[in-house]
Amino acid sequence: MAAQQDESREYVAVAQVIKPQGNRGEVIAELLTDFPEKFTERKKLSAVDKSGKRVELTLEDFWPHKGRMVLKFVGVDSINQAELLKGCTLQIAAEERVKLADGTYYTSELIGCELSDASSGGRVVGKVAEVSGGFGDAPMLTVSDGKREYMVPFAEEFLVQVDVNAKRIEMRLPAGLLEVDAPTAKDKKAAG
Are the beta carbons of 171 and 118 closer than 8 angstroms? yes
Where does CATH 2.30.30.240 sit in the chain? 107-180
Where does CATH 2.40.30.60 sit in the chain? 2-96
User: Phi and psi dihedrals of 108, rounded to 5?
Assistant: -60, -25
CATH class of 107-180: mainly beta
How far is Cα 15 from Cα 18, in angstroms, rounded to an integer?
9
Pick the CATH number of 2-96 from 3.30.1230.10, 3.90.1150.220, 3.90.650.10, 2.40.30.60: 2.40.30.60
pLDDT tens for the 192 residues of the chain, in order: 444 445 568 898 999 999 999 899 999 999 988 888 888 888 899 999 999 999 999 999 999 999 999 999 999 999 999 999 999 999 999 888 888 888 888 888 899 999 999 988 889 999 999 988 766 678 899 999 999 999 999 998 999 999 988 999 999 999 888 887 655 444 444 555
